Amino acid sequence: MKQGYLIKYGELALKGKNRYIFENALAKHIRDAIKPFGEFEVVKEQGRIICEPLSDVDDEAVMNRIQMIFGIIGICPVYILEDNSMENIRNQAVAFLKQHYDQHDFTFKVEARRADKKYPLNSMEISRDIGGVLLNAFNQLSVDVHKPQVRVNVEIRNKSYIFSKQIQGLGGMPVGTNGKAMLMLSGGIDSPVAGYMVAKRGVHFDAVYYHSHPYTSERAKQKVIDLGKIVARYNGSFNLHVVPFTEIQLEIYEKCPHEQLTIIMRRYMMIIAERIAREKNCLALITGESIGQVASQTIQSLAATNDVCGMPVFRPLIGFDKQEIVDIAQGIKTFETSILPYEDCCTIFVAKHPVTKPNIKSIMRSETILVNIEEMLQRAIEQKEVIKIEPDL
């Protein structure tokens, strides 16, 4: 008898003729994710993916890693039976309860699933047969088909699988199956969460970070790199484009009305992000903006920044309040890094009284003063540093 993992997925099963594309992507993500833990055989099985260790592995570490893969709704530690005979399934069901439960005074229900329709017994007959065997083997057991304390699951396929526990997965879609985007990543709480949310829908991202040396320290830059490593647990490895932004910020600060600083700075950030995104074949930008959270995130301000973009801007947190965002950040382990006291370029040049309802025509008139801005934009893009971010596991 072997042990392994039966992996369930949700909305992938609703796909039509291209379902195999999503299943293949999910299987590949699983293989890549668990490769550091040992040798495995990963196969697709009619609505399931079976992961069978070929060597000794750390079960807890493997399941923790699989839990971070989008597209999975459940991970079940299973007994894998090469022999599909009912006699063997009966024996191994008894052995399963003996190994996994110290006491046997609980209520239970057997739930069988017969994927192999040529099997001589149907699902109900298998459930009844195994249930009777378990009652005879453990005299303290009792059946409760409505609210059992333990569900003994038996699935009969090319091989048979016995399990009773399911660890919840993240759901969503396999990363990369819905294209690529560019995340505007800062050292704050919101943008890492925004990246996580869009990755959950199958979008793989690269990221742009704006660094204003010497006004922002190397610690601020390292903080963003560290956040990237955490988010990469879910998104997979990606490129972080570190753009030198000091020259542009000083130009805006010196020549534009101070109440418009935040909006104008944000507009040029969007322009740079879009240009890099197009170079890298991205189809959209991702930001962590939420309506009304700060002055630059009123509807009028968002409209002013959108005005410079030719590609879609995804704002997955747009309707979230701060506590909802913090809750997700804590769940994905980015929160403690995000609150480290290293300021990024947005906080250094903030206006004392920023405009909350900017007029786009007025903003554009102010930008005409920035006569050398195009050269500065090109210089910033040419001088950007590209850092490969790998998952921090």
Banded pLDDT at 382 (limits 50, 70, 90): very high
Tokens representing 321 are: 């309040």
- The whole-number average pLDDT for the span 328-341 is 95
- The answer to whether the predicted template modeling score (pTM) of the entire model surpasses 0.75 is yes
Read off the DSSP letter of residue 200.
T
How many Å apart are CA 96 and CA 92, to the nearest integer? 6
Tokens representing 393 are: 């596991």
Q: Where are the beta strands (DSSP E) in 159-269?
A: 160-163, 167-171, 180-184, 204-211, 238-244
CA nearest to 5, candidates 84, 80, 61: 80
Residue 331's pLDDT is what? 97
Give per-residue pLDDT as tens, 266-312: 999 999 999 999 999 999 999 999 998 887 789 999 999 999 999 99
CA distances from residue 187 to 203, 213, 316 in whole angstroms, order as listed: 21, 15, 18
Q: Which amino acid is at 101?
A: Y
Banded pLDDT at 393 (limits 50, 70, 90): confident
How many Å apart are CA 365 and CA 278, to the nearest integer? 27
Banded pLDDT at 13 (limits 50, 70, 90): confident
User: 259 with 295: CB under 8 angstroms?
Assistant: no
Neighbours of 219 (CB within 10 A): 12
Pairing of strands 160-163, 72-81: antiparallel
How many Å apart are CA 260 and CA 131, to the nearest integer? 72
Q: Which residues contact 26 (CB under 8 A, 6 or more apart)?
A: 9, 12, 49, 69, 71, 72, 174
How many Å apart are CA 4 and CA 56, to the nearest integer? 11
User: 290 with 319: CB under 8 angstroms?
Assistant: yes
- The whole-number average pLDDT for the span 324-336 is 97
Give per-residue pLDDT as tens, 136-189: 999 999 999 999 999 999 999 989 999 999 999 999 999 999 999 999 999 999
- The whole-number average pLDDT for the span 241-268 is 94
